[in-house]
Structure 1
Amino acid sequence: MVTPNRKLSVSRAALASAMAAVLLLAGCGAQEVKRGSLKDVKSAEERFESKAPDAALQKFYDQEVTWKSCKDNEAVSEISEGETDLPSYTCAEIDVPLDYANPGGETIKLQLVRHSKDGSVKTPLLFNPGGPGGSAVGSLSNMANAVFTNEVQQEYDLVAVDPRGVGTSTPIKCLSDEEIDNLRAGYTLDGKPLPEDDPEFKVVKSEAEKYSQKCLENSRGISEHADTDSVVADFDIVRAALGQEKLNYFGFSYGTYIGALYADTFPQNVGYMVLDSAVDPALNIDEIAAGQAEGFEESLKHFLEKSAEDDPKFPFRGANAEEEFLKWLKGIDKKPLETSDPDRLATGAIARSGILGGLYSEDFYQFVASSITITLEDGNGTELINLADLLNDRLPDGTYLDNSFDAFNVVNNLDYAPVGDVADWQKHADELAAKYPLVGDQFGGASSALAGWKIKPKNTRRAVTGEGAAPILVVGGTHDPATPYQWSVSLAKQLKSARLITQETWSHGQYGRSAGDCLRKTIDSYLLEDKVPEKDLYCKAE
């Protein structure tokens, strides 16, 4: 068994993991299920227990969306890299309350972008690509060109709504590009190496406090109200503004959490809803960390085995492959690699970011394996840092395509509350490092960073039921590294009207044009023909 470096696991790795995203068949019988009629709509005021008069929220529900060309929308054009300049894309904005406890107060704007394949106006299908912090607007062209089938797009307009604080919707901005680089590299905000040992997590808490203070200085207001409960309330206003009695929604990864809370908050407003690669809304931060540690550990082992089988040049193979791989990473921790950029080193944190991010899909394995092989051959970290930059949307000029790093951290710190005290954090970090020797040291310490965050959490995490909602499809991959399969199983059990579709896979995010017939046809039949599987389905790899 590989023995992890415990000192490293509770300081450098804890900070990097707690505050930086790791960006990132069988036959199918179905029956037609009729959907319930519209009942009284539960307002956002009821959900948020606001004492404001009904009129304070009614004006938001009474908005009408006005679509126009996206060509003159610089922010949308930039984040979509020019794709939304095409005639098939149109843009709109709506207003929502900053704070639902005070709906008569300050307002913020949400950006909407619609893609109509043939130019006609069709029923809207909202989607969220994940995150938190992933821009729906930025991913819309990929969703239109590579994910949703032509048949679905003949019946629906794809509507991208960046959640509050994300992308083009009143974006959160906390850190400079240089400060993001520092955290991604496993340094402090000001670029100093982390100490070898931080037994009471003082450095982690201090850095989290500094980070949150920058959010308050640069984006006060939205940094305090970008929680997922507020996003859910926003989406119900979007539904009404689009003139829809029901919300049709497709959520991936974190987007499943938005969908689950929406179904629980506004069950009678649920139309067609697919939740792909689910987050279990009932779990606390330590349980989330443990689940991801298990998922990435299993996937990394699979990656090492498969790369050795597929690539004769891949350096880590045989009985000692895992031990040698970890030894190599530990060496980079101690002595970061030079790159083609004289001002940047490929640190252990950077290497792990690229490698673990590449485990999201088996299609990426060959590129990750090639980067590792070239790095070992050249003794240079350029390939590793380029891989990590690509997966984290860092552009060649040193800027970032969007604000996903800040949004990820702010939303998570609002949605989760810290668990336990210093002794509990240490115990949890030690347990993960021991149980998952390849990656466990990357997932300890999350509660310590939350404890240092200066903005009070909303703690939106909770078990859901969605009592009264129309049938919902929950999709889970058997070996998904980022949202482990058991999370989808759990969500499907929580939601009263859910059917679970299991996809045999090693990837994250299951639906798409390249998905197997079992999964793709089942979901398309649900969206297009109102057919819901008679029972849970298991789709074998194709």
Structure 2
Amino acid sequence: MKFPAPLARTLGSAAIVVALAFSAGCTATDPGNGPTTSSPSSDAPKPTTSTTPAATAGAPEGFEDLYAQAVEWEDCDGGFECATVEAPLSWQYPTAGTIDLAVKRHPATGNKQGSLLVNPGGPGGSGVDYVTFAWSTFGEPLRDAFDVVGFDPRGVGASTPVRCFDDARKDKSLAMDFDLDDDAGLAAMAAEHAAWGAACAESTGDLLGTVDTQSAARDMDLLRAVLGDEALHYLGFSYGTQLGATYAGLFPERVGAMVLDGAIDVTLDADAVSAGQAAGFELALRNYVTDCQGGAGCPLTGDVENGLRTVRQVLDRALTDPYPTSSNRRVTRNLAFYGVAVTLYDQGSWPALTQALEEVLTSGTGDTLLYLADFYNDRDPDGTFANNSAEAFRAVGCLDSRGTTDVAEMRAQVAEIEKVAPTVGTFFGFSGLVCSDWPVPPVAQEFDLHAVGAPPIVVIGTTNDPATPYAWAQALADTFDSGVLVTYDGEGHTAYARSNDCILDAVDDFLVDGVVPADGLRC
């Protein structure tokens, strides 16, 4: 998901719940970024996992050795095991070389049924980091039955990564504002996105052209094989639903139990995705304002419409007069929007937004907004970044889909977006410029979106999801020949492990016992 100012990542909400903690030594990193993986001493035993003939059957020609590789697991992070799996640089050219995929799992605590791969979203989210945080939030039946396996997709994190700017240049870019009301502002924004592309090409090399979602889905089939599973059991959140849907389209006969939570409509192009997200974030912000004004101490006075106008005024002021902070940094409009947007992923983060708006409106300073923006961007207080999610987000997105670059068309799109999202719509326009000068071409779709022949695939949508609007879950469930729609009536991004027992039980019963929930179940 992309728009030209902040990047609308679709990370699973379990990894984006903001807790303000301005104490000594606190960091603004994602809670999903768990402790650093530690390796045992060099003479520690390294248990191996051997694949079975059934698991490796059907390996693509030229990749049989990779499908048959043994995995060496090492203890890490207390109860978890870490490993590196070798994958091809290119799934089209077997002799092009290999890359590394970082993998981390927590073994099943009961009678093991197999492995469950999980992906938190993004694109660019680290499954290795996510599984550290999320394993304890999953249902007990699921943890008993499966090795829960997180992996960093190609180009991401501890796998062979996409690299672009150094931290200082990246920090500068993420804070940049552009006045998009004139052509000069559009040209400046396009030039900045072109600079990203050039830096990524120089620092990443051939990998940059192979980090598309289809290649990542083929990597998941490789992981399925080396983990010894005949079918892929999978739980994907947000962008992870696109990854899962792609796998189902490529390998419908190898789909096991699959749950896609916070679903993306895979039939939409990049421009339609931007418009949908704009409406989703506008709805979430409206619901926040309504909730805020219904309680005590809300800084947004008047009715809901006036409250929304106040938020827009806060954002617009930062374009011409960035907010000062207690550091030497200032809160630009881009950073201000990051700070607002991150709190809308989960209702539990709404108090943080109230605190940020209270500070801006009463003191004219932006310390809380800056903290929230850094949290979203995984920026540490020393100016370094905890991961390469922003780089991977661009690299994957530009290979998967691109929007129009015609200025007249983009301006017409912005006008339509702002009709449904007058507060935040401006941040979702001109998305085509993100990839207009990307140095590698997009990848052609090689699979059937309907996943004909796959067993039931459970799709979960949240009615007031800002990042992946509910209509997308409805559309994805309808696109699959075997889609089953489950609805969570509530706020926030994704539902499993953050909503209610109805969702938790439905997912656990399906993944563990094969009990398919009733199509149309509402929780």
Partner of 1:446 in structure 2?
Answer: 431
Partner of 1:123 in structure 2?
Answer: 114
Contact 1:90-1:115 at 8 Å conserved across structures = yes
Q: Does 1:329 align with 2:315?
A: yes
- Report the TM-score when normalising by structure 1: 0.84
Partner of 1:301 in structure 2?
Answer: 286
Alpha-carbon distance in 1 for matches of 2:56, 2:248 = 12
Partner of 1:390 in structure 2?
Answer: 375
Partner of 2:454 in structure 1?
Answer: 469
Residue pairs, 1:24-63, within 5 angstroms = 45=60, 54=61, 56-63=62-69
Q: Does 1:132 align with 2:123?
A: yes
Q: In the TM superposition, what is the alpha-carbon distance from 1:479 to its structure 2 partner? A: 1.0
One-letter identity of the residue aligned with 1:374:
E
Given the superposition, is the C-alpha separation of residues 437 and 446 from structure 1 closer, same or farther in structure 2, using an over 3 Å criterion?
Answer: same
Alpha-carbon distance in 1 for matches of 2:193, 2:248 = 33
The superposition leaves residues 499-535 of structure 1 with CA deviations (integer Å, 9 ceiling, x where unpaired) of 10011011101000x5322211111111121101243
Unmatched tracts of structure 2, length 5 or more? 12-52
One-letter identity of the residue aligned with 1:322:
L
Given the superposition, is the C-alpha separation of residues 22 and 239 from structure 1 closer, same or farther in structure 2, using an over 3 Å criterion?
Answer: closer
Alpha-carbon distance in 2 for matches of 1:303, 1:203 = 34
Given the superposition, is the C-alpha separation of residues 60 and 418 from structure 1 closer, same or farther in structure 2, using an over 3 Å criterion?
Answer: same
Residue 386 of structure 1 aligns to a residue in which SS? Answer: helix
Partner of 1:417 in structure 2?
Answer: 402
The superposition leaves residues 159-179 of structure 1 with CA deviations (integer Å, 9 ceiling, x where unpaired) of 111100011110111012122
The superposition leaves residues 456-494 of structure 1 with CA deviations (integer Å, 9 ceiling, x where unpaired) of 111549871111111111000011100000110011011
Q: Of residues 157, 162, 172 in structure 2, which corresponds to 1:172?
A: 162
Residue 149 of structure 2 aligns to a residue in which SS? Answer: strand
Q: Of residues 152, 159, 162 in structure 1, which corresponds to 2:149?
A: 159
Alpha-carbon distance in 2 for matches of 1:432, 1:529 = 43
Q: Which runs of 4+ in 1 moved over 6 A?
A: 38-42
Q: In the TM superposition, what is the alpha-carbon distance from 1:325 to its structure 2 partner? A: 2.4
Unmatched tracts of structure 1, length 5 or more? 1-12, 25-37, 46-53, 71-84, 188-192
How many pairs are equivalent?
Answer: 480
The superposition leaves residues 305-359 of structure 1 with CA deviations (integer Å, 9 ceiling, x where unpaired) of 11111232423442522222222321222100111111x1011111111111110
Alpha-carbon distance in 1 for matches of 2:482, 2:188 = 45
Q: Does 1:260 align with 2:245?
A: yes
Alpha-carbon distance in 2 for matches of 1:39, 1:484 = 39
Partner of 1:339 in structure 2?
Answer: 325
One-letter identity of the residue aligned with 2:4:
L
- Report the TM-score when normalising by structure 2: 0.87
Partner of 2:223 in structure 1?
Answer: 238
Residue 468 of structure 2 aligns to a residue in which SS? Answer: coil
Q: In the TM superposition, what is the alpha-carbon distance from 1:435 to its structure 2 partner? A: 3.4
Identity score, percent: 35
Which structure carries more relative contact order (alpha carbon 8 Å, separation 6+)?
Answer: 1
Given the superposition, is the C-alpha separation of residues 199 and 397 from structure 1 closer, same or farther in structure 2, using an over 3 Å criterion?
Answer: closer
Q: CA RMSD in A?
A: 2.3
Q: Does 1:457 align with 2:442?
A: yes
Given the superposition, is the C-alpha separation of residues 356 and 162 from structure 1 closer, same or farther in structure 2, using an over 3 Å criterion?
Answer: same
The superposition leaves residues 234-276 of structure 1 with CA deviations (integer Å, 9 ceiling, x where unpaired) of 1101111111100110000000001001011101111110000
Residue 116 of structure 2 aligns to a residue in which SS? Answer: strand
Given the superposition, is the C-alpha separation of residues 403 and 120 from structure 1 closer, same or farther in structure 2, using an over 3 Å criterion?
Answer: farther
Q: In the TM superposition, what is the alpha-carbon distance from 1:398 to its structure 2 partner? A: 1.1
Contact 1:416-1:460 at 8 Å conserved across structures = no
Partner of 1:275 in structure 2?
Answer: 260
Q: In the TM superposition, what is the alpha-carbon distance from 1:130 to its structure 2 partner? A: 0.3
Q: In the TM superposition, what is the alpha-carbon distance from 1:421 to its structure 2 partner? A: 2.3
Residue 487 of structure 2 aligns to a residue in which SS? Answer: strand
Alpha-carbon distance in 1 for matches of 2:471, 2:10 = 21
Contact 1:246-1:271 at 8 Å conserved across structures = yes
One-letter identity of the residue aligned with 1:516:
N
Residue 491 of structure 2 aligns to a residue in which SS? Answer: coil
Residue 121 of structure 2 aligns to a residue in which SS? Answer: coil
One-letter identity of the residue aligned with 2:310:
E
The superposition leaves residues 100-148 of structure 1 with CA deviations (integer Å, 9 ceiling, x where unpaired) of 11112211010111112649866211000000000001111211122x1
Q: Does 1:363 align with 2:348?
A: yes
Contact 1:42-1:266 at 8 Å conserved across structures = no
The superposition leaves residues 187-232 of structure 1 with CA deviations (integer Å, 9 ceiling, x where unpaired) of 4xxxxx6676226932232222211110011111221110000001
Given the superposition, is the C-alpha separation of residues 326 and 195 from structure 1 closer, same or farther in structure 2, using an over 3 Å criterion?
Answer: closer
Q: Of residues 456, 466, 470 in structure 2, which corresponds to 1:485?
A: 470
Q: Does 1:103 align with 2:89?
A: no
Q: Does 1:16 align with 2:10?
A: no
Alpha-carbon distance in 2 for matches of 1:280, 1:237 = 25
Contact 1:125-1:157 at 8 Å conserved across structures = yes
Alpha-carbon distance in 1 for matches of 2:253, 2:54 = 6
Contact 2:312-2:424 at 8 Å conserved across structures = no
